[in-house]
Amino acid sequence: MVPDLDVERVYGIRTFWDLEQNQGKHTDEEWQEAMAELDMRVSQIDAFRRIAFFHHLILINNHREEIEAENPYMKEAISEALEGIYNGHGGPFGCVIVKDGRIVGRGHNRVLSIIDSTAHGEISAIRDAEKALGTHDLSGCELYTTGEPCPMCLNAILWANIEKVYYGCTISDNAGIGFRDEKFDQLSGGREAFSDFLICIDRKACQKLFEVYNSLEHVIY
C-alpha cells in the first residue's frame, strides 16, 4: 500500500498522456517510459484496490467510447465527469481549462465527497489551473465543461479572466436531471448578455453522460 498514491491521479495522468500522445507531443520512447512509470505505480496499489481500479477503468472506458464527443477537450471534461460519477463524488460535471492548446487544469464536481456545496467542476478546475500556473489570472485560457455553468461558476470564471466557455448540456438539461441551476439563474437575472462568451458544443454527448448518471444510483442535492 502506498499511502500517497491516488488512483484518480494515476488515471488523470494517463488520460492527459493519451491526449498529448494523440497530438503527437511525445516520442514513442517518452510514451513507453511514462506508461512504465504508471504501471509501476499501479503495481504498488494493494490487490483489492488494484481490482477496483481496473474495474473502474473498464467502466469509464466503456462509457468514454459510448459517449462520443467530437471536441478533444470536451472528451476530457467528460472523462473527468465519469471519474466523479464512479467515485460518488457528486453530479455529472467535469471540466478542463486549456491554454495554448494544452490542458492546464482539470476537475469535477466533489460536492458530496468533500461536503462542500461550492465544489463544482468549474471551481475545482479553476483552482487546479491557478495552482499549476502560479497565478490567479487565467487570461488566455478557455474552459470546457459538461454542463452550462451555474451563476456561481459563471462569476468565478469571470473573476479568473477566462476568455471563453464551451459547455455541453444546457441549464435546462441540468434541471432535467434534478439540479437547481435554473432557479438560481433566474434570481441572478438570466444570462442573455453572455451569448458570445458561452458556447454550446457536443450537447448530444453530454446528454448521454447525463443519461449514464441518471441510470446509476445517485444523490440529488
For Zn ion, the binding residues (CB under 5 A) are 120, 150, 153
Contact 120, 152 (CB under 8 A): yes
Contact 144, 121 (CB under 8 A): no
Cβ 149 to Zn ion shortest distance, Å? 5
Cβ 168 to Zn ion shortest distance, Å? 14
Amino acid identity of 114? Answer: I
Whether 122 is catalytic is yes
Catalytic residue selected from 76, 83, 122, 130: 122
Neighbours of 179 (CB within 10 A): 22
| Cα dihedral 73/86/109/46 (nearest 10) | -100
**Smaller CB distance to Zn ion: residue 79 or 124?**
124
Cβ 63 to Zn ion shortest distance, Å? 22
Alpha helices for the chain (secondary structure H): 7-22, 28-43, 47-66, 72-87, 121-133, 151-159, 171-176, 181-187, 203-215
**Smaller CB distance to Zn ion: residue 60 or 150?**
150
Active centre residues (catalytic): 122
